[in-house]
A and B are shown apart, each in its own frame.
Chain A
Amino acid sequence: AQSVTQLDSQVPVFEEAPVELRCNYSSSVSVYLFWYVQYPNQGLQLLLKYLSGSTLVKGINGFEAEFNKSQTSFHLRKPSVHISDTAEYFCAVKPREMGYSTLTFGKGTMLLVSP
Chain B
Amino acid sequence: KAGVTQTPRYLIKTRGQQVTLSCSPISGHRSVSWYQQTPGQGLQFLFEYFSETQRNKGNFPGRFSGRQFSNSRSEMNVSTLELGDSALYLCASTIGGPGTEAFFGQGTRLTVV
| Residues of A near any B CB (own CB < 8 A) | 32, 34, 36, 41-46, 49, 51, 90, 94, 96, 99-108
Contact = CB atoms under 8 A, between A and B. Distances in A.
B99 A43 contact: no
Given A34-B101, A103-B45, A104-B45, A43 B96 contact: no
Q: Chain A contact residues: over half helix, strand or loop, or mixed?
A: loop
Given A90-B43, A107-B42, A102 B33 contact: yes
B31 interface: yes
A43 B48 contact: no
Contacts of A41: 106, 109
A106 B96 CA distance: 22
B56 A100 contact: yes
Given A101-B33, A106-B42, A43 B101 contact: no
B4 interface: yes
B90 A101 contact: no
A44 B104 contact: yes
A41 B106 CA distance: 7
Nearest to B101: A46
B107 interface: yes
A49 B96 CA distance: 16
Which 6 pairs of residues, A with B, have the shortest CB-CB distance?
A: A43-B104, A105-B43, A100-B56, A44-B104, A107-B42, A51-B99
A44 B101 CA distance: 11
A96 B4 CA distance: 24
Nearest to A43: B104
Which of A44, A90, A101, A106 has most chain B Cβ within 10 Å? A101
